[in-house]
Structure 1
Amino acid sequence: MPQPSTPAPALTPGEIKAATDRIAGHVRPVAVAPTEGNVLLALEFMQHTGSFKARGAMNFLLAHREAGLLPDAGLTIASGGNAGLACAWAAREHGVDATVFLPETAPPVKVARLRSYGAEVRLVGTRYDEARAACAEFAETSGALASHAYDHPLIAAGAGTLTEEILRQVPEGLDTIVVSVGGGGLFAGVATAALDKGIEVVAVEPENCRALNAALAAGQVVDSAVDSVAADSLGATRVSQTALDTARRDGVRSVLVPDEAIVRARHRLWDERRLAVEHAAATAYAYAPQPGERTAIVLCGANTGLTDLT
């Protein structure tokens, strides 16, 4: 039997609306700044913990609490990046324990920041695979609720709350929203909400860090090489099935940009606008919007060093 050209969405606008209502008052509404022409910048790097991940983490925690499924042992996650920070922050905001697993080689600055949010940090092994395995074992033995950086419907739905916030500030509407893609949580959420309103979505990845693009080419989720200046945030080896299903829908474009363009975009944001963002955010900005399209570019995070911007 032939496959439909537009698969049924794996994430629904209703789930995103529920997330919007759930996290209202718990996260910072995104600021939208006009630039030249018809291009707008969604300044989501100003979010709690410095990235959009706070939305999904808060939605994940509150949804489980509402359902009576938040255990006394709290939350656990294996991530020293934006997802780990967001999980620790959301837990602290609601008096919930958070246990974050990292390899022993994790930078001390990441460990210190996680602890500043009140998380218990456990350093295990020298590779993230070992930290992830230890996290899974801890969840099994302690009863803690295991969170994920991107591959969970509540995480993706939380990220999708961005779309409505952007549109509230753009009464004339949008033609296109541009987002960076790593594991696909941000993309799946934003795209689900945008496509429901007839807005096209551009999914931007580094040329050598292209889990979504590779999955689209293969027709299924596949392992993808990770070799990019933006790999610290966009370095997922596999995209989520939800992201792949969303990317197959009409109105989505997959775009690859070279590292050189990402670095130039990041410097351009600093030199011209004094916006210091991480390479993941600059990946979306490296895309050149089509002339005449009213476009919003999501600048997703700013957990970055500043020494290479001047």
Structure 2
Amino acid sequence: MAEVAEITRERIAAVAPRIRDHVRHTPVMRVDMADFGRPSRTVDLKLECLQHSGSFKVRGAFNNLLSQGVPDAGVIAASGGNHGAAVAYAAMKLGVKSSIFVPAVSPKSKTDRIRAYGADLVIGGDLYADALAASQALAEKTGARQIHAYDQVETLLGQGTLGQEIEEDLPEITTLLVAVGGGGLIGGIAAWYEGRVKIVAVEPEQAPTLNHALSAGKPVPSPAGGIAADSLAPKQVGDLMFAIARDHVAQSVLVADEDIRAAQKALWDTTRIATEPGGAAAFAALLSGRYVPDENERVAVLVCGANTNAVDFG
């Protein structure tokens, strides 16, 4: 696929200065797993949950808006919530009209944020796939530019800048745990690292899109449920990211909903970091023991989203 050849370490490096003034360089927190009731091990948490709009998604959103012209009709995006918030935020900052389609499962914390950024918000069906179809229909009618959440070159290049930033912050790591929905994040990061660190994909058991794709040898329709369905449950992973993941993602791990909820609670109780379910999924793999590092691994975990109103996880 010709487009996959465009998603390279060199192109990601070229994107970074384009979006640098529009995104935060998010911090790293070093923790001891003993504080979470697990065997002592130093782990670095990359807190992309503190990014503008509450997730990593603004990286791809700004790259889309800054790398290509925007028509008078503005931009359109379909999203479980985070991508929509990111596009709405970028559009607001750049003075561009935006229309955001979300499924009915999108939580109020995310739809409120989208509205606050001035976007036209449309509830487009029960699932992400429904919202995507509705957004595509309007884009064809109005001429607005569609910004895909994960299966678009500009999106993956933008998300790849997070891989570059992680390497700048943590050049010594050997392993990076990353949550997966449609795959734009892990695709961009894996394209940056090109196999130089072990990339571990983490997904909910009820939304195993990449796990099923790797088993099948291609993207395939998968279940789309669980507590992280608003951010980690597309119908299937993107074609662009799959070609990268097949070559550069070392392992796929599935976690249960109760693992994710426990990780949310542990992150809040121990570090006072509030995350949404999708944002805590990668840490859930480590906390639950679904992923057990070797003794000599130097592990980092990407905490990628914080769009939740919940603080007392009960």
Task: Give the structure-2-normalised TM-score.
Answer: 0.87
Report the AA paired with residue 234 of structure 1: L
Name 1:256's counterpart in structure 2: 254
Report the AA paired with residue 143 of structure 2: G
Q: 1:66-105 residue pairs with structure 2 within 5 A?
A: 69-102=69-102
Corresponding position: 1:62 with 2:61: no
Aligned-pair identity (%): 43
Corresponding position: 1:29 with 2:25: yes
Q: Would the aligned equivalents of 1:195 and 1:201 in 2 still touch at CA under 8 Å? A: no
Q: Would the aligned equivalents of 1:176 and 1:294 in 2 still touch at CA under 8 Å? A: yes
Name 1:144's counterpart in structure 2: 144
Change (3 A) 1:17 1:307: closer
Gap runs ≥5 in structure 2: 33-40, 287-291
Q: Would the aligned equivalents of 1:10 and 1:246 in 2 still touch at CA under 8 Å? A: no
Change (3 A) 1:117 1:177: same
Change (3 A) 1:194 1:274: same
Give the Å deviation of 1:107: 5.5
Name 1:269's counterpart in structure 2: 267
- Greater helix share, structure number: 2
Name 1:247's counterpart in structure 2: 245
Q: Which 10-residue stretch deviates more, 276-285 or 258-267? A: 258-267
RMSD: 2.1
Q: Which 10-residue stretch deviates more, 269-278 or 83-92? A: 269-278
Corresponding position: 1:45 with 2:41: no
CA distance in 2 between counterparts of 1:50 and 1:292 reads 33
| Number of corresponding residues | 297
CA distance in 2 between counterparts of 1:255 and 1:109 reads 28
Corresponding position: 1:234 with 2:225: no
Task: Give the structure-1-normalised TM-score.
Answer: 0.88
Change (3 A) 1:24 1:109: closer
Report the AA paired with residue 271 of structure 1: D
Report the AA paired with residue 299 of structure 2: T
Report the AA paired with residue 183 of structure 2: G
Name 2:304's counterpart in structure 1: 300
Report the AA paired with residue 188 of structure 1: G
Q: Deviations over 1:138-166 (max 9, x none)?
A: 21122110111111111111111112212
CA distance in 2 between counterparts of 1:251 and 1:183 reads 14
Gap runs ≥5 in structure 1: 1-7
Q: 1:277-288 residue pairs with structure 2 within 5 A?
A: 277-288=275-286
Change (3 A) 1:180 1:107: closer
Report the AA paired with residue 139 of structure 1: A
Change (3 A) 1:123 1:267: closer
